[in-house]
Amino acid sequence: MTDNNGEGRLSLPPWIKTTVLTIGSIAVTMLGLLFITFIIGRVMPIDPVLAIVGERASQSTYDAVYLELGLDKPLVVQFLYYLWDVLHLDFGTSLLNARPVSEDIARVFPATLELATLGIFIGIVLGVPLGVLAAVRKGSWIDQIARVLALVGYSMPIFWLGLMGLLIFYGILGWVGGPGRVGIFYVDVVPSVTGLILVDAAIDGNWNVFKDAFSHIILPASLLGYFSLAYISRMTRSFMLEQLSAEYVTTARVKGMSEWDVVWKHAFKNIRVQLITVIALSYANLLEGSVLTEIIFSWPGIGSYITTALLSADMNAVLGGTVVVGLIFILLNIFSDLLYKVFDPRAR
């Protein structure tokens, strides 16, 4: 197609340009992410062969695995081989458990997804109203409580809070389940459809498993929710204070509009876009996996999977995990952009 001036330029519809740009941006980001992670893995002072064969294997066994891993080839060649496999959706085999990395990720990611989703839900449901209230009642006792909650959330070690939570609600009160995703009676009772135990139990109609799984997830999810709450409520308060001091709010009040409408229909409406960014970031952080929470609660999630792999130079597992986490960030970014357009006409 040529334009009327015969300059030979292609004229593509805007949506195609946007799609191509988005895909290009994702590809470049992922490539960069993979390359950096790959290099970090190779410069770490850990021998990946030893992680597989153990410290007492014979030299011949060591050499065989060294060649099998392709470590005799130049770094760039190793990276290109890896890239080729990834493009074919082959993340390789984990050095640490001799299983396909894709199988491992399919096992650990749903555990993190389930925990993070419930956690962010708690963070939003409690954090947003608390932030709004703290802004509206600035300086009041509600504001002080919100501040203290946020401060504790920021400063208290999650390890300590997790252990105390377990001690009180599990060890002493017996209100919640202990470490692990379900009690011993319910392991593998419902067929795994989604990998999310609550959802699988609901699909199966097995409400005993659902209740047990809920009793196990509620404490770690509340803990993660609390940390999200701390961040979300502080940011919400700050955004709201800015809006509440704007002239249009004063005008609305002067016109006699109810305080509820001023706050929720006008001021809050205008912070939604900023809030989406904050929530998306919080959610993405939770989806990366919270290593300490996963350790304390014996939660087989992606955070401890990647960390253990990294400490043992299991680069296939690390890179596979990195791809997943990178994709999450990118997808949440795209999703946030879409929501901006829904909530803010200027972004369309």
Partner 1 sequence: MKQFKLTMTAGLLASALAFTPVVAATPDNILVVAQNIDDIVTIDPASAYEFSSGEYVANTYDTLVRYDATDTTVLAPALATDWSVDADAKTVTFTLREGVTFHSGNPLRGEDVVGSWTRVVALDKAPSFILTQLGWTNDNIADMVTTEGNTVTVRYEGDFAPSFVLNVLAARPASIVDMETVMANEVDGDMGHAWMNKNSAGTGPFSLQTYRPADILSLSANPDYYQGAPKMERVVIQHNPEGATQRLQLEAGDIDMAKNLDPGQIAGLEGAEGVRVETFPQAAVHWVSFNQKVDALTDPAVWEAARYLVDYNGMADGMLKGQMEVHQAFWPEGFPGALTDTPFSYDPEKAKQILADAGVETPINVTMDVISAPTFVEMAQAIQASFAEGGINLEIIAGTGAQVITKYRARTHEAMLLYWGPDFMDPHSNAKAFAFNKDNSDDKYASTTTWRNAWMPPAEMNAKTMAALGEQDAEKRLDMYMELQKETQAEAPFVIMFQAIKQVAMRKNVKGFVNGATSDYVFYRLVEKE
Residue closer to partner 1 (CB basis): 117 or 308 = 308
When binding is defined by CB under 8 A, the residue of 174, 208, 246, 337 that contacts partner 1 is 174
Is residue 255 at the binding interface for partner 1, with CB under 8 A as the rule?
no
Judged by CB under 8 A, does residue 296 bind partner 1?
Answer: yes
CB 108 within 8 A of CB 302: yes
Q: Which of residues 154-173 bind partner 1 (CB under 8 A)?
A: 163-164, 166-168, 170-173
Q: How far is CA 346 from CA 188, 254, 342, 343, in A?
A: 50, 27, 10, 9
Q: Which is nearer to partner 1, 32 or 171 (CB)?
A: 171
Least distance (Å) between residue 84 CB and partner 1: 19
Applying CB under 8 A, among 312, 322, 333, 336 the residue interacting with partner 1 is 312
* 22, 183, 272, 274: which one binds partner 1 (CB under 8 A): 183
> Looking at beta carbons only, is 104 or 288 nearer to partner 1?
104
* Cβ atoms 273, 343 nearer than 8 A: yes
Residue located via tokens 């043992």: 312
- Output the CA torsion 89→94→99→101 (10° steps): -30
User: Which region, judged by CB under 8 A, interacts with partner 1, from 25-33, 230-238, 304-312, 335-343?
Assistant: 304-312
Asked whether position 151 contacts partner 1 by CB under 8 A, the answer is yes
Q: What are phi and psi of 182, to 5 degrees?
A: -145, 165
313 binds partner 1 (CB under 8 A): yes
Residue 187 CB, shortest distance to partner 1, in Å, is 6
Contact call for residues 224 and 115 (beta carbons, < 8 A): yes
Element (H, E) at 96: none
Fill in the per-residue mask, 90 to 129: x = in contact with partner 1 (CB under 8 A), - = not in contact: ----xxxxxx----x--x----------------------
Task: Give the DSSP H or E segment for 126.
Answer: helix 101-136
Question: In this complex, which beta carbon is closest to partner 1, that of residue 204 or of residue 344?
Answer: 204
50 binds partner 1, rule: CB under 8 A? yes
**C-alpha to C-alpha distances, 151 to 146, 231, 234, 340, nearest whole angstrom:** 8, 9, 9, 29
DSSP letter string, 147-167:
HHHHHHHHHS-HHHHHHHHII
Annotate each residue in 59-78 with x if it binds partner 1 (CB under 8 A) or - if it does not, as one string. xxxx-x--------------
Choice between 96 and 230, CB closer to partner 1: 96
Contact 266, 249 (CB under 8 A): yes
Q: Which stretch binds partner 1 (CB under 8 A): 79-87, 174-182, 262-270, 278-286?
A: 174-182
Taking the complex as a whole, how short is the minimal distance between the CB of residue 162 and partner 1, in angstroms? Answer: 9
Interface residue with partner 1, options 47, 90, 143, 344 (CB under 8 A): 47
Residue partners of 12: CB distance under 8 A and separation at least 6 = none
Residue 123 CB partners (closer than 8 Å, separation 6+): 224, 225, 226, 227, 228, 229, 231, 232, 279, 282
Which residues contribute to the site for partner 1 (CB under 8 A)? 45-47, 50-62, 64, 94-99, 104, 107, 148, 151-152, 163-164, 166-168, 170-174, 178-180, 183-185, 187-188, 295-298, 300, 304-305, 308, 311-313
